[in-house]
Structure 1
Amino acid sequence: MSDTARAGRQVGDGPLSRAAAFVYTLLAVELLLLLTTLPGLAALVLLDRDASNLPLVAACLLPVGPAISAALYALRHQRPDLTDLRPAAMFWRAYRNNLAGVLRVWVPTVLWLTIIAMNLANLTAAAVPAWWAVLLVLVGAGVALCGANALLVASLFSFRTRDVVRLALYFLVHTPSVTFGNAVLIAAAAGLTAVFSEAVLALLGAAFVLVFLRIGEPMIRGIRKEFTE
C-alpha cells in the first residue's frame, strides 16, 4: 500500500474523522433541505395562521416530501470516510429518482390531512357532535403515521405505490415502536411549530430527519428481511 493510500485510510478510519464526516453530512443535508423547500417555506412563514389559508399551507408543503425523501436517502447512505463524502450527490440522485414515487404517497397524505384540518376548523359552523372531532383527530393521526411509513419506504426501497401503502399499513401495526416513535416526533414537530415558527423547524430539519430514520430502523430491517431477501 502506498504512503498516500495509507494516509488516506488513516484519515478516513479514525473516530474523530467519522465524527467530522457525520457533522459535515448533516450540515450538507440541512442546507439542501432548506434549498429545496425554500419557496414553500418562505410563503408558509408569511401566511397568517387562519383556517382559510389551509389550502395554501398544503400547497407550500408539497415540496417538503421529496426533500425529506432525499435527505433520508443521503443520511442512510452516508459514508464514514472523510475522504469519500458525497452527501450532495446522493441527495440529488435520490431527489430525482424518488420524486415521482414519493409524490404519489406524499400528495394524498397532505390532501387528506388538509381536508381533516379544514373539517376540524369548521366544527362549530357545521354544528356536529363533539365526538366527531375526536374521530377526526384519530383519523388524522392514522393518516399522518401511515404517510410517515410510506414516505420512508418510498425513499429507501423500490416498490410499486400500492405495495408501499400496504407495507406502510402493515408495519403501522407490526412495529409499534416505530409507530409510537413517529407519533412523538410528529407531536414534537407540531409543538415546535406552534410555539416558535415553521422556520425554526426547518433549521432543525436534518436533525428531525435523522431521528425519523433512526426510529424507522426496525421497519427497514423488517422490510429487508421479509420482502427483499
Structure 2
Amino acid sequence: MRLGRVAARVYPLLVVELLLVATVAPGLALLVLLDRSVVVAAGALPVGPALSAALYALHRQPADPADLRPAAAFWRGYRLNALAALRIWAPLVAVLAVVAVSLLHRDAAGVPVWWSGLLVLIAAVATLVAVTALVIASLFVFRPADVLRLAAHFLAARPAVALGTAAVLLAALAVTVLLSEAVLLLLASAFAAALLAVSRPMIAGITERFLEPPGVAVVERP
C-alpha cells in the first residue's frame, strides 16, 4: 500500500517532466544553436505555457492511483492555459531580457551601480508577481487584469505565499548558476510541484472567496 502511494506521487512527476521537456524543446534548440539576446528571449517563451500545463496537471491528479492520467491532464491544461500563460510570461521575458542586456552592458552604457541594483530588484519583483499570477491563471478563470491584482494581493496579504514562492525561485536560480539550465529542466516538474505546495494558502483563499458561494461567475479550470 505504501509503495502504491509512492508510485502515485512519482509517476505524475515523471510523466509531466517528460512532457515539459518535449514542449520547451523548440526554445531550447534556439538557445543552443544561436547566441543572441533576442533569440534567447524568444527561446524562453515556450516555458510559460509548459509550466502552466504542468501546474494544471499536477493539481488535477486524483487521489485514486488507478485513475492517474497525468499526460491527458497536461495536454488539457496546455490547451486551456497556453494563451493566458503567454499573456503573463511574454511581458516577464521582455522585462528580464531588458534587465539582462542593461546589466551585461552596464559599463558601455554608463549605468550607475545603484541603477543596476534597482534593475535587479525590478526583475525580482516582476518574476515573483508573474510566477504567482501564472499559478492563478493555470487553475482558475479570471480576466488578465484580475489575475495580476489577485497575485499582488495574495503576495502582500499572505507572507507565507510570498516567502515560499521566493524560496522556490531562489532554489531554481541556485541550481541554474551552480549546475546548469539542463539540470533545472530535469527538475522542472519537482519545482512545479513545489510551487503548488507553497501556493496552497492562496489557492484555498481563492477557492473559498470565489468558488464556494453560489452564483459566482469565476470558475475553477475544468
Give the TM-score of the pair, scaled to structure 1. Answer: 0.87
For residue 43 of structure 1, what is the aligned residue in structure 2? 30
Q: CA deviation at 1:44?
A: 2.4
SS class of match (1:80): coil
Alignment of 1:142-153 (within 5 A): 142-153=125-136
Return the match for 2:16 from 29, 39, 44: 29
Letter aligned with residue 34 of structure 1: V
User: 8 Å contact 1:45–1:199 — kept in the other structure?
Assistant: no
Distance across 1 between alignment mates of 2:48 and 2:66: 30
Describe the superposition over 1:196-220 as per-residue Cα deviations: whole angstroms up to 9, x where unpaired: 2211111111111111110111111
For residue 189 of structure 2, what is the aligned residue in structure 1? 206
Distance across 1 between alignment mates of 2:137 and 2:44: 18
User: 8 Å contact 1:18–1:81 — kept in the other structure?
Assistant: no
Which stretch of structure 1 is more off in the superposition, 17-26 or 205-214? 17-26
Distance across 2 between alignment mates of 1:103 and 1:90: 19
Q: 1:176 to 1:47 in 2, by over 3 A?
A: farther
For residue 158 of structure 1, what is the aligned residue in structure 2? 141
Q: CA deviation at 1:47?
A: 5.1
Which stretch of structure 1 is more off in the superposition, 30-39 or 171-180? 171-180
Q: CA deviation at 1:27?
A: 0.7
For residue 216 of structure 2, what is the aligned residue in structure 1? none
Q: CA deviation at 1:224?
A: 1.3
Q: CA deviation at 1:167?
A: 0.7
Letter aligned with residue 110 of structure 1: V
Distance across 2 between alignment mates of 1:31 and 1:149: 23
Distance across 1 between alignment mates of 2:85 and 2:202: 18
Return the match for 1:95 from 78, 81, 105: 78
Letter aligned with residue 84 of structure 1: D
Q: Which portions of structure 1, spanning 4 or more consecutive aligned residues, are displaced by more than 6 angstroms?
A: none
SS class of match (2:141): coil
Larger Rg belongs to: 1
Return the match for 2:156 from 173, 178, 185: 173
Matched residues, number: 212
Is 1:54 aligned to 2:41, yes or no?
no
Q: CA deviation at 1:54?
A: 2.5
User: 8 Å contact 1:120–1:133 — kept in the other structure?
Assistant: yes
Q: CA deviation at 1:85?
A: 1.2
Distance across 2 between alignment mates of 1:35 and 1:102: 17
Distance across 2 between alignment mates of 1:42 and 1:207: 23
Q: CA deviation at 1:129?
A: 2.2
For residue 113 of structure 2, what is the aligned residue in structure 1? 130
Give the TM-score of the pair, scaled to structure 2. Answer: 0.90
Alignment of 1:63-142 (within 5 A): 63-142=46-125
Q: CA deviation at 1:77?
A: 1.1
Q: CA deviation at 1:96?
A: 0.3
Q: CA deviation at 1:16?
A: 2.6
Distance across 1 between alignment mates of 2:76 and 2:42: 24
For residue 215 of structure 2, what is the aligned residue in structure 1? none
Alignment of 1:185-224 (within 5 A): 185-224=168-207
Q: Over aligned residues, Cα RMSD in angstroms?
A: 1.5
Distance across 1 between alignment mates of 2:180 and 2:31: 10
User: 8 Å contact 1:21–1:79 — kept in the other structure?
Assistant: no
Identical counterparts, % of pairs: 53
SS class of match (1:223): helix
Letter aligned with residue 185 of structure 1: V
Q: CA deviation at 1:128?
A: 2.8
